[in-house]
Structure 1
């Protein structure tokens, strides 16, 4: 690989890019990485990590309401949005520093500027410097997709929500995906009036319909208003700073803030891919083979910028597999079957494997086992909410095809249940497992 400035040049220092850079360097490669925003990418800087911290912060509202029934007297309780916001952002700063130290400790050179591709083995930095590399890895991730309605510039995306000066008294969330549901839950719990606008009658596509229906029932019981089959026609900023949202026809709604969460697109615009003959797919995504290689042999891509699964743990595995394949003399691919996922609404929901509908379409006859229960910790809650656990199995073999749940700590419980699904276990393995009582998780081994 002599003759090149580096063995590997990574564009994008998010979860996938950093893992690929670190592992490649550990294999002896000379590595550089460029990041035009902040080291850590979507997950650490403006995604899963700060969002989960907001979820934790907002959950205290519910926990404090339970506390009095358990003998606690809490006087003068109040909430300070700025304090939570600053605490979350301070921890993001801390994590960004750790990511930077990880790169430095592996002697990966970091360029804090934008890089674009100029050829199969060359990139150009925003400063004008041109660099050559034997291999180029694109790991720039995704970016919020903003719809083209009049006044969209007055709205915020999930990028800006972590930096709001004040908590909105009224918030309109546009979208029906996991980002929309999570932020709707956060601000509803913190006391904001939340309205969700969705252009269809379905939210959280890809999750089990019965679990999603339970989520909607609980969310509406907590005060979130859902406007299905609705779209924003325009947004007009008022003199007092509020926003007047036109939902079509004569109906207009006045809110303090509009959060657009209608999806994310691969951040490939202006990256220079056309100069190496890489044609983009849907949403600007980069098509790659099972080894993350594009149609240009020296250029690879991992993470949300590709046309595969957009999840942080997946990007990390893709980055690691790339490094082992190219520099570790150990060709590896990533298994995309039975990947668990969660939505941190309140309470959260999670799933792994096939939904009931998907199982019927692919396996024909299936059986479902469902447990509905009121979590013990919510016994004195003003919300009579019931959790729901669901197992989908093949009717003949009883091999587990999918597990889906909603309730407190559902993602924590599902993670270990996903191991059973990955191992190809049958429901009998759950039936033969002694219940851990009293717990919510025991419902999984008591399904009838």
Structure 2
């Protein structure tokens, strides 16, 4: 064993220990898979071992002409969580949508010699690379790599006990549940108005119901399942731009926003606070599905928004008519942390900011620290009556429901 491979083995064990301590790994068979598969064999040559064996960083393996990631070896924590969420066991047949090689090797270790792993990718280069690397790592006879668009049924293969989707999906095409066995599990990073949750779905009558959820993001789906978002650039008084990105429901008459950033801002504060280092990812989802006119906001360097917390705090906003408000924070004096609020521009800025702040307060009362239940309702299966608070997002192949637990 060379010094490099010896250090890789040591880092592999340390990574596995961290995943066990963090609760991302809970079963012995998954633990053994992470101790066995050599992650460094599936990343670009020269990648530092510390980066390879990081708990929460992905390693990009292919980019487009603009440097945007098209494929990656996902962060180890989400790979472990997704395998555990799938309740994957020896001798099962599993479909991986989105190839890279490493995750397929983990799956092969979990299902063992009596199982079957099929990995599919739309990109011929990525599929060929995964096939080559799996062969070099000793998994060529245990994983079948298919180059095709996973929006459709995998030709000649299936059904599958488990399907793990390792790209960000905007929708769930009929092929995915159709290819599952009766008690199968689908684990998919699902985009909902720009916010992603990785969800384990099981059949529940005429629809799919969530059994487990994790916060994670992935490179977006390509091919027939791709979904383009709409973006608008608002110039500020310095000639810099703020970008508003909408998932589906683009407000009408966006021309009313012309010159809106030149108006005096107004801020409204909620009284809702969060401590330093505390995640508020559940607020992102709450606003995305319950705030009318929701959009994601990014600010070009040099704008007033970029000079504040906007860029750092993963900003979101809302548009109504000719007014625009965005999530804002300010330091609290009582303790380390910040208070949430909204800053707005435009003739109805105070009202739009007030609507955003009211949703922050509603989240604090009802949705904070509570992960909602998710459902996917294929076209033709009417969405059942849902408890408040809840939302339904229309998709091409059905609808997604998001329901928070009712306050006790």
Per the normalisation by structure 2, the TM-score is 0.27
Q: Quick one: higher RCO (CA 8 Å, sep 6+), 1 or 2?
A: 1
Give the structure-1-normalised TM-score.
0.25
Higher strand fraction (1 or 2): 2
